[in-house]
Amino acid sequence: MIKRFWHVLLFIFLCGPLAAQGDIDPQDRMFWRNERSVGAALNSDGWSAIYRDLRQIKPSHRWFIEGSVEGFKHPKEIKLSNYYFQNTGSFVFGKLNSTWTIGGGAGYQQEIFGKHDLGGVSISWFAGGGATVLFAKPIYYKVIVWLNNDYYTIEEQQFDNNTIHEPLQILSRASFFKGFDEIKLYPGLYGRGGFNFEYSRNDRITHALEVGGSLHAFTKKIPIMASEDNKQFYPSIFVSYRIGMILDPLSQRNLLDLIRRRPAE
């Protein structure tokens, strides 16, 4: 008898935490979910911020429209500072332009694994694409120009391989706003796809992590660095965090109520 008691006690001790992890959400489960969310991502070649508006077309299937702002970096970008002039700021030696894009497009998302309790995770795949425009703003440097062996002056110049041969000739980067009137535009297309892991504990707010890949293609090579290896196509992998809200959620209970109230034809 005592041995059986200890067996039951051990069973309760081991299974109690497991049962707690599967608590059923007391809220009405959403039957139809339209959603708006924003996300911030780290890309292998920069960063991005994406707004997305999802509309459910049938259970587990949604289409979406999105808008994005993204920044690109060249793999040879290395921040330096002038050894002889302290506290003057950092710069990237040989960089010609700061670049970012504004884009918009549409896509499709499908749930492949549903969430059934508070501690669960739903998994979906998504894919989309659209048009984008890249803005290339020239970068100016504060360049040390020697007048003679004892005197020098500081001039704001763009990087030029013919006149700037080493980092010690650069004091720092000029103001970020210098060169805005010289911005050039490069149109292009993009595609993005991956997996969405939604883990919210509330049916009115959504939290999710996304991982995937993207490809941006432009009409010509983007002159980011003063080198021969600037690119026209930008493949990238990313990881992002998304937060959003459910719009006009309709629970399964409310849907049944609407069906019951519908007049007979």
**pLDDT tens-digit readout, 131-145:** 999 999 999 999 988
- pLDDT recorded at residue 40: 97
- Average pLDDT along the chain: 83
Return the higher-pLDDT residue of 52 and 247. 52
Confidence of residue 149 (pLDDT cuts 50, 70, 90): confident
pLDDT at residue 264 greater than cutoff 80: no
Q: How confident is the model at residue 52 (pLDDT cuts 50, 70, 90)?
A: very high
Contact indicator for 10, 1 with CB cutoff of 8 Å: no
CB neighbours of residue 40 within 10 Å: 12
Alpha-carbon distances, residue 165 vs 89, 144, 161, 170 (angstroms): 19, 12, 6, 10
Q: What is the pTM of this model?
A: 0.77
Q: Quick count: other Cβ atoms within 10 Å of Cβ 57? A: 10
Torsional class of 89: left (φ above 0), alpha (ψ -120 to 50), beta (otherwise):
left
Model pLDDT, residue 21: 43
Determine the average pLDDT of the residues in 200-214.
Answer: 90
Q: Do residues 66 and 107 lie in contact, with contact meaning Cβ atoms separated by under 8 Å?
A: yes
Residue, of 209 and 85, whose pLDDT is higher: 209
Residue 36: predicted pLDDT: 94
Digit-coded pLDDT (tens) for 16-38? 333 334 444 444 444 467 899 99
Distance from C-alpha of 174 to C-alpha of 89, rounded to nearest angstrom: 10
Higher local confidence (pLDDT), 2 or 99 = 99
Give yes or no for residue 219 having a pLDDT over 70: yes
Q: Can you give the pLDDT at residue 33?
A: 74
Is residue 182 within 8 A of residue 99, CB to CB? The reply is no
pLDDT, position 25:
46
Q: How confident is the model at residue 211 (pLDDT cuts 50, 70, 90)?
A: very high
Tokens 């499908």 found at: 110
CATH topology assigned to domain 33-74+96-138+180-261: Porin (2.40.160)
| The residue to which tokens 């979910």 are assigned | 33
Decide if pLDDT at 86 tops 90.
Answer: no
Q: Which residues pair with 236 in a beta bridge?
A: 214
Cα–Cα separations (whole angstroms), residue 155 to 84, 144, 208, 226: 17, 7, 48, 19
- Sort strands 170-173 and 91-92 into parallel, antiparallel or unpaired: unpaired
In this structure, the strands spanning 152-158 and 170-173 are unpaired
List the beta bridge partners of residue 125. 110, 195
Please classify residue 81 by burial: count the beta carbons closer than 10 Å to its beta carbon, then call 0-12 exposed, 13-18 middle and 19+ buried.
middle
The string of pLDDT tens digits covering residues 247-256 is 865 544 454 4
Looking at the predicted structure, is the pLDDT value of residue 42 above 90? Answer: yes
What residues does each domain of the chain span?
A: 33-74+96-138+180-261
- Rounded to whole angstroms, the Cα distance separating 196 from 194 reads 7
Contact (Cβ atoms closer than 8 angstroms) between residue 49 and residue 38:
yes
